[in-house]
Amino acid sequence: MESQQIGVVLAQIGTPEAPEARAVRPYLAKFLSDRRIIDYPAYLWKLLLHGIILRVRPKRSAALYREIWTEQGSPLMRISAKQRDGLQERLGEGFRVELGLAYSEPGIASAIQRLEEAGIRRIVVLPLFPQYSSTTTAVMYDKACFAALGRSRANGPAPKRFVPELRLIGSYHNRYGYIRAMCGLLSEMLDRLPQKPDHYVLTYHGIPARYAMTGDPYPGECEETSRLLASEMGWEPEEWTLAYQSRFGPETWLGPSVTEVLERLAGEGIRRPLVFSPGLVTDCLETLHELGIEARGEYAGHGGDSAGFVLCPCLNDHPDWLDFLAELVRAHSLGWEEPDDHPLALTRILRS
């Protein structure tokens, strides 16, 4: 039976099921096999991936995951579930929100399947990535569209007879509700600190510079987000720096890296840096370990005071952030909130 509910897929990258090499390996295999993530010639990359990387990296990554793992499991999974539940509460009974992960379970295909089994024919896909990148937002588009079509690849079999209507939310890097949510989070953090930070580092997950040079708008959107946030917070230009993190492989990535920035700040006598990741909205390995442990250690290694280093958490399930996401979903579902034969729907049609 067809449902008048609107489906929502809260789309995120994913996480291993456990902090062990046997669980990390299949997760990394899916992630690093995606041609949107790594676009090297397939035959060469397959040899490197399966011959070297997946033999070495899972064990190393598992050790890092163990340092941030909680009694409730993966931090990303636990927080993503809170985001899903908080968004569901705000949207109400007219919507059904499902969490969908690109490279682990519950997968995006599973999320769409659950919505279809509930009779839902209209689905909003919400990537949890404010800045568009071919390595994040476009990945979610791929996964959602192939799942809705019932295909695993463009020229593969198509057993499904009905394909639900999809609306794909794109970049929201400069939306006021997003900027306002970050300001609220940062202001709350600053109120708890005994001393004001003497510098702010806004760090984003990096991508190869070649991707940006060939059309990915990501760095420009990161820069605009940073300018808007700094302006709203009242920071002077010399008080903050944009940086990128999570470099992988031998080619040139966006810069400066967070390591380079922290080394420079330590050398300049900065003793109380605050590090925040606007582009990662859910705390995960890249924030909790790479920034909270590794970057802190690197800063101290260059003469900085690790006690003065402050890592602000991601937006996670902050009320202002969830309020904004609810507004975003409602804006992208306009025209869907009543069935086609509802008087209000007919009135809109006649007026248009």
Q: Which residue has the higher pLDDT, 351 or 330?
A: 330
| Residue 352 pLDDT | 39
pLDDT tens per residue across span 208-223: 999 999 999 999 999 9
Residue 44 lies in a domain: no
**Domain annotation covers residue 287:** yes
Query: Could you tell me the maximum CA-CA distance found in the chain, to the nearest angstrom?
Result: 69
Mean pLDDT score, 142-149: 95
Q: What pLDDT, on a 0 to 100 scale, did the predictor assign at position 2?
A: 87
Once rounded to an integer, what is the mean pLDDT over residues 151-166? Answer: 83
In 3D space, the residue among 328, 352, 316 whose CA is nearest the CA of residue 91 turns out to be 328
Judgement on whether residues 297 and 180 belong to the same structural domain of the protein: yes
Q: What is the CATH number of the domain that holds 298?
A: 3.40.50.1400
Residue 130 included in any domain? yes
Indicate whether 347 pLDDT > 50. no
Whether 189 has a pLDDT exceeding 80, the answer reads: yes
24 neighbors 62 (Cβ within 8 angstroms): yes
Tally the domains of the chain: 2
Rounded distance, CA 55 to CA 242, Å? Answer: 34
> Which residues are within 8 A (CB) of 46 and not within 5 positions of it... i.e. 6 or more apart?
none
Mean pLDDT calculated for residue range 57-63: 98
Domain that holds residue 301: 176-311
Instruction: Report if residue 116 sits inside a domain.
Output: yes
| pLDDT of 130 higher than 60 | yes
Indicate if 150 and 290 belong to the same structural domain. no
Residue 327 is predicted with a pLDDT of 98
pTM score = 0.93
Q: What is the pLDDT of residues 238-271, one digit of tens each?
A: 999 999 999 988 899 999 999 999 999 999 999 9
